[in-house]
């Protein structure tokens, strides 16, 4: 049993005004209790999370950037980080082309998440995006 943590989870965890903040806090409690098994994320999610937080705060919250960094790289990170490898980039790009729709374009990072979850047989994801519906079980 395993689960993958997406950018929206990390952002909501730190952004107290985010509509998913309370849900993220509740899920974090479940994760620390071990209810969902091994916890994973990726270096691309780390990149996207740092970027999203910095953009949304207008570069004015270095304290939150430091907290975000700690969630991924601190002494006790929430999840084990999987690195997206160069050898998989073309496959991820092909997946993005396949999944992209005019009404619902999907990011390369989200496609890398789907790819990693399929490759590593990670069935569940903590995400507040609808991109994953029908592809992974959302918690």
Q: How far is CA 42 from the centre of its chain?
A: 7
pLDDT of 83 higher than 90: yes
How high is the pLDDT of residue 28?
A: 97
- Entry pTM: 0.94
134 vs 82: which has the higher pLDDT? 82
Task: Please state, rounded to an integer, the average pLDDT across all residues of the chain.
Answer: 95
**What single-letter DSSP state applies at residue 101?**
B
pLDDT of 67 higher than 90: yes
What domains can you pick out in the chain, each with its CATH number? 2-84+122-138 (3.40.50.1010)
Q: What is the C-alpha to C-alpha distance for residues 90 and 86, in angstroms, rounded to an integer? A: 8
- The whole-number average pLDDT for the span 122-133 is 92
pLDDT of 131 higher than 90: no
- Secondary structure, 3-state, 54-88: HHHCCCCCHHHHHHHHHHHHCCCCCCEEECCCHHH
pLDDT of 101 higher than 90: no
How high is the pLDDT of residue 58?
A: 93
pLDDT of 130 higher than 90: no
How high is the pLDDT of residue 133?
A: 87
């Amino acid at each position: 049993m395993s689960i993958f943590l997406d950018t929206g989870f990390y952002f909501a965890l730190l952004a107290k005004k985010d509509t998913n903040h309370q849900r993220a806090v509740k899920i974090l409690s479940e994760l620390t209790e071990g209810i969902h098994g091994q916890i994973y994320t990726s270096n691309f999610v780390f990149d996207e999370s740092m970027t999203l937080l910095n953009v949304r705060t207008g570069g004015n919250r270095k304290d939150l950037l430091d907290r975000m960094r700690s969630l991924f790289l601190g002494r006790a990170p929430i999840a084990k980080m999987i690195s997206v490898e160069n050898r998989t980039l073309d496959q991820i790009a092909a997946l993005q082309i396949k999944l992209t729709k005019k009404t619902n374009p999907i990011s390369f990072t989200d496609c890398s998440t789907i790819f990693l979850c399929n490759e590593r047989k990670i069935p569940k994801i903590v995400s507040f995006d609808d991109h994953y519906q029908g592809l992974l079980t959302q918690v």
